[in-house]
Structure 1
Amino acid sequence: MTDRPDLSSLPSYKAPKRSLLSARKLALMASVVAGLGAATYGFSPTHNPADLFTTPAHAQVNNEVKKVQQPVGFADIVERVKPSVISVKVNIREKVAKDDSNNDDSPFQPGSPMERFFRRFGGPDGLPPGLRGGPRGGGVVTGQGSGFFISADGYAVTNNHVVDGADKVEVTTDDGKTFSAKVIGTDPRTDLALIKVEGGSNFQFAKLSDTKPRIGDWVLAVGNPFGLGGTVTAGIVSASGRDIGNGPYDDFIQIDAPVNKGNSGGPAFDVSGEVMGVNTAIYSPSGGSVGIA
């Protein structure tokens, strides 16, 4: 056997130690170099700095999330349909009081349920069509409502109760122009009226929808609430087939888009920009919108 050499007398070997300071310097230099490379790449005309930290799949997901989170509004629809809506102002000369108009048995006495009913629906003095006048007779009542053009030559639709008995009708278009109008025909049973605006032949008009709205569909109400003009509110179709005791053809569409006094006769648009109905009545203990119209 070969004897193993005795190494005990040799000096022990120790590996050289790299100073901690040198290691930190190298790390710092590497970071600076990497940063300069990223900056050079990121600020080149063809690259976005965010691309350095985003994989293609991740970028696609981010783009899809941005699309989903983008709020959806009605501005494009409103811009297209709002010019077809008009504000309607009427002057009504009240009739001389009749002998029986002060009958205590009348269901239209001030404060009675029927008087409040018609006051909510826009009837001057809380009286239905055909029963205006009475003890207040002799004066002039000014009323306001809404309407919309259905043809370029000035034919427009509003509610019958807006223009019933009117001696003078004026309309204001969306661009602020005022025109005289005359009543062409009325239908008290459906509470609709046709008026003809004079002095123009190229009015923007609305298209009537031939599709029955579904419960839950979006709806836009445009009109002249409280005389403010050009007001847009949004909501959904809340119910259909409502009977509110307003005539033999009760089949109302209930919406929750805010509708107030002065909205009567204005259109309710669907998301295609077509008229799904005419804003006719509100149901409210206070006379203002509580979300049922």
Structure 2
Amino acid sequence: MLFCAVLGATGLVVVLGANVVASEKSVPTSKAEIALSFAPVVKKVAPAVVNVYASRTVQERRRVSPFFNDPFFRRFFGDQADQFAPRSRSRVQSSLGSGVIVSADGTIITNHHVIAGADEVRVALADRREYDADIILKDERTDLAVLKVRDPDGDFPVVPFANSDELEVGDLVLAIGNPFGVGQTVTQGIVSAVARNQVGVSDYQFFIQTDAAINPGNSGGALVDLNGRLVGVNTAIFSRSGGSNGIGFAIPANMVEVVASAADDGGIVRRPWIGTSVQPVSSDIAASLGLERPNGVLVTRIQDGSPAERAGIRVGDLILSVGGSEVDDPDAYGYRLATKKVGGETSFEVLRDGEAFTVDISLERAPETVARDTREIKGNSPFTGVQVMNLSPAVAEELRMYNEFSGVVIADIQARSTAAYVGFKPGDIVVEVNGVEVEDTKDLAKLTRKRQRVWNITFKRDGQLRQVSLR
């Protein structure tokens, strides 16, 4: 079972010695080296790690006795019965996590799940100063959020970003947070893996794994290297009991930096789009391409007029690297693209017909090639209660549908509606209704206004066509 852990704010990794050069890596070879302390690194980083207190007010309706709806009871008491009815009451829910100050003006990075739904956020520094904070940006897709100290009284200590691509398995790291609310705590470990996927806490499955002890309360805290630089933001643990089992996950600093910089760009994370759909390379596909082992990602679709098409990318091409970084699966491919900034170009290494070449592709925002024309479907049909949109690259990006470019997509479904009862889900693409192709939301609205004894519907879910007949 995977637990999201709320971290306390604290600094992280310590330098092993003043004579250690940043590019040098070695293991202890003497008792003197083993006796070295991480304290200098902790003193450097800890002041910039904060505790994050988030609270929200929820309304709870007290349980209603069946007597209040009993006709005899209401006849006896008349209108006065309503004054005996239970009222809703407010209750404050709170959560505790950690954050990292990344700018002297009080800009703080934390996890989205720490502040999700919060009405008020307050941060406490290691020196016991406390401030109210505003939520500047929330990015559920990366499980990151940006806070800003309200009414700062001067410059704050910061943790500089490291290039997380330079991190290697076996590197020493420190984690700082507030596990179980006991106070700022520092733990030490090594990098266990640098590209873990299938963690399931964000859209971008590309995490640093560490054996540094991370527990509930550590979420949003810092993972730092021996130079006191931020290499990741701790976000989750893998545990069957709720405690640390030596398997913790952190969002790489290169992704964190993209989200932090977006706070100065209107509070919107703008991700590059090149117009490709890709799939992993299996051993069979690798053999058919003459590869010694599966690597890269296979291009399966290309959007007309997209940057990839203009650059000459074709269906069947194998993309081996993005910006000089190898990609071995779609998760790594998506991560490498997401850590690039919109605008300019980046290099793609491509394998075609056994020959490798490099091509530069423009990094652009996903376009809204057709008007989304959002419509609520009403009336008497299996689609009653759905909200539909015309699909475009921009809408697909918003709905996290990375392999679809066109069609009519179900964006939302009302609870307890006919569509919900039928079993439609957000992300379903309506293809055909009673033998008539659905090209846009206007077509679907028109088709559902007609009363039918039988509804024959074809739709696409997870790339697979499905058919259903309903009376």
After TM superposition, the score normalised by the length of structure 1 is 0.62
2:213 maps to 1:258: yes
Residue by residue over 1:104-158, the C-alpha shift from the partner in whole angstroms, topping out at 9 and shown as x without a partner, is: xxxxxxxxxxxxxxxxxxxxxxxxxxxxxxxx99532111000010111111000
SS in 1 for 2:113: helix
The residue number in structure 2 matching 1:202 is: 155
Amino acid at match of 1:86: V
In the alignment, structure 1 segments of 5+ residues that lack a partner are 1-64, 98-135
Q: Which moved more, 1:227-236 or 1:81-90?
A: 227-236
CA distance in 2, matches of 1:269, 1:182: 25
The residue number in structure 2 matching 1:223 is: 177
CA distance in 1, matches of 2:209, 2:58: 33
Number of matched residues?
Answer: 191
CA distance in 1, matches of 2:92, 2:236: 24
CA distance in 1, matches of 2:202, 2:107: 25
CA distance in 1, matches of 2:126, 2:234: 18
CA distance in 1, matches of 2:99, 2:124: 10
SS in 2 for 1:280: strand
2:123 maps to 1:171: yes
CA distance in 1, matches of 2:201, 2:56: 22
CA distance in 1, matches of 2:59, 2:207: 32
Q: Is the 8 A contact 2:56 2:120 kept in 1?
A: yes
The residue number in structure 2 matching 1:88 is: 52
Match of 1:189 among 136, 141, 144: 141
SS in 1 for 2:223: strand
Amino acid at match of 1:219: V
Match of 2:107 among 144, 155, 161: 155
2:224 maps to 1:272: no
Amino acid at match of 1:273: G
CA distance in 2, matches of 1:141, 1:151: 29
Query: Per residue, is there more helix in 1 or in 2?
Result: 1
CA distance in 2, matches of 1:191, 1:277: 13
2:193 maps to 1:239: yes
Q: CA deviation at 1:274?
A: 0.4
Q: Is the 8 A contact 2:164 2:232 kept in 1?
A: no
CA distance in 1, matches of 2:245, 2:193: 15
Match of 2:93 among 109, 134, 141: 141
CA distance in 1, matches of 2:35, 2:204: 39
Aligned-pair RMSD on alpha carbons?
2.0
CA distance in 2, matches of 1:87, 1:69: 33
CA distance in 1, matches of 2:89, 2:160: 40
CA distance in 2, matches of 1:193, 1:279: 13
Q: 1:194 to 1:69 in 2, by over 3 A?
A: closer
Q: CA deviation at 1:199?
A: 2.9
Q: 1:138 to 1:230 in 2, by over 3 A?
A: same
CA distance in 2, matches of 1:216, 1:249: 23
Amino acid at match of 1:235: G
Q: CA deviation at 1:73?
A: 1.6
Q: 1:239 to 1:95 in 2, by over 3 A?
A: farther
Q: 1:248 to 1:66 in 2, by over 3 A?
A: closer
CA distance in 1, matches of 2:36, 2:235: 28
Q: CA deviation at 1:217?
A: 0.4
Residue by residue over 1:29-75, the C-alpha shift from the partner in whole angstroms, topping out at 9 and shown as x without a partner, is: xxxxxxxxxxxxxxxxxxxxxxxxxxxxxxxxxxxx97745512201
SS in 2 for 1:182: strand
Q: CA deviation at 1:76?
A: 0.6
CA distance in 2, matches of 1:144, 1:157: 14
The residue number in structure 2 matching 1:72 is: 36
Q: 1:256 to 1:140 in 2, by over 3 A?
A: same
Amino acid at match of 1:264: S
After TM superposition, the score normalised by the length of structure 2 is 0.39
The residue number in structure 1 matching 2:393 is: none
In the alignment, structure 2 segments of 5+ residues that lack a partner are 1-28, 62-87, 249-471
The residue number in structure 2 matching 1:132 is: none
Amino acid at match of 2:46: K
Match of 2:203 among 227, 239, 248: 248
- Match runs of 1:40-51 below 5 Å: none
Q: What is the percent sequence identity of the aligned residues?
A: 45
CA distance in 2, matches of 1:245, 1:156: 24
Amino acid at match of 2:125: T
- Match runs of 1:115-126 below 5 Å: none
CA distance in 2, matches of 1:163, 1:246: 15
Query: Per residue, is there more strand in 1 or in 2?
Result: 2
| Rg comparison, structure with higher value | 1
Q: Which moved more, 1:253-262 or 1:66-75?
A: 66-75
Amino acid at match of 1:85: V
The residue number in structure 2 matching 1:124 is: none
